Amino acid sequence: MGFDTSLTSVEKTLTKLEKLRLQNARVARVDGRFALRELFADNSVEHVIVNFPCPWPKKRHSRRRLTREDFVETLGAVLEPGGIFELATDVEWFAREMAETLKKTRSFSKLAIITNPDRPLKTRYERKWLSQGRTIYLLKAEKTGHIHIERTVTGGLPHTKIKKMDIKKLTQMKGQIWQEGEKVVVIKDVYHDLDQKNWLVLTYSSDSDFQQHYYILITKKGDGFLVKLDSTTVPFRTPAVKWSVFRLAEEIGV
Ligand SMILES: C[S@@+](CC[C@H](N)C(=O)[O-])C[C@H]1O[C@@H](n2cnc3c(N)ncnc32)[C@H](O)[C@@H]1O
């Protein structure tokens, strides 16, 4: 199972899989940190390999680094006992920072950083950096203790009814930002059909650093309006996505 946030990278991988006629591989265009945490059960993964992630060297971007404790906690939950984590990078401090976070959890052992490892398969970036004479660092660790984590995507479609709606307020919603804890919601645009019975609200939401775009539908129902996720987009129902539906309804309901 491979994850990359870039559609181009996913497409390239799929083309290679097809050429090689590999039947036992799947690729998904999704944030790997989110996918590991939300799509895999505890103790269900044998091996996690992260190849050349961006180290986000600037301090103001450090929250985006994979070396954050929450990613290591995910590894400590989904890897099976004895499961292996590997990180390949050309940035030495990044490998060391990851090793420090792994150590802090006390759930990993046999930590080692191997310089210029002889890996049987080399990724595109690995070949690129090696051809430029850069050193490659491979951090390896074994899971020896379990870490409990909470998953954030839970079932249930968020929807709510409002009796009356402030249409003027809705039409002026573009650019509205709501924030609560780790949740951020931004209203990007508002569209309606000719007889103003259906409204589509293009919404951006973020849970920590996991970002999604989707539509919220407001549609006439009985003597009121129904506010729900529109089925043209299928976001993961994270806390921010659910909150956006209720927050919007609260804002425009009268
Ligand atoms: C330097 S490239 C390395 C590409 C490839 N893994 C290799 O080793 O040749 C970094 C890749 O990480 C992907 N990426 C960035 N953040 C990600 C995330 N949160 N989850 C999955 N992939 C991510 C980018 O789209 C990009 O393709």
Q: Is the four-CA dihedral 245, 148, 41, 109 of positive or negative sign? A: positive
What is the average pLDDT score of the chain? 95
What CA–CA distance (Å, rounded) separates 29 from 18? 17
Ligand 1 centre to CA of 43 (Å) is 25
pLDDT tens sequence across 169-207:
999 999 999 999 999 999 999 999 988 889 999 999 999
User: For ligand 1, is residue 125 a contact (CB within 6 Å)?
Assistant: yes
Candidate CATH numbers 3.90.1170.50, 3.10.20.30, 3.90.1720.10, 3.40.50.150; the one for domain 31-143: 3.40.50.150
Contacts 24+ apart (CB under 8 A), 181-187: 182/207, 182/208, 182/239, 182/240, 183/207, 183/239, 183/240, 183/243, 184/240, 185/240, 185/243, 185/244, 185/247, 187/248
pLDDT tens sequence across 24-47:
999 999 999 999 999 999 999 999
pLDDT of residue 195: 83
pLDDT of residue 238: 96
Mean pLDDT of 50-54: 97
User: For ligand 1, is residue 204 a contact (CB within 6 Å)?
Assistant: no
Q: How many CB atoms lie within 10 A of CB 55?
A: 21
Longest dimension (CA), the chain: 70
* Ramachandran area for residue 21 (φ above 0: left; ψ -120 to 50: alpha; else beta): left
What CA–CA distance (Å, rounded) separates 26 from 46? 16
Q: What percent of the chain lies above the pLDDT cut of 90?
A: 94
pLDDT at 230 over 80: yes
Structure tokens at 199: 């409204």
pLDDT of residue 196: 80
250 φ, ψ (degrees, to nearest 5) = -60, -40
pLDDT at 155 over 80: no
pTM: 0.90
Residue 50 Cα: closest atom of ligand 1: 6
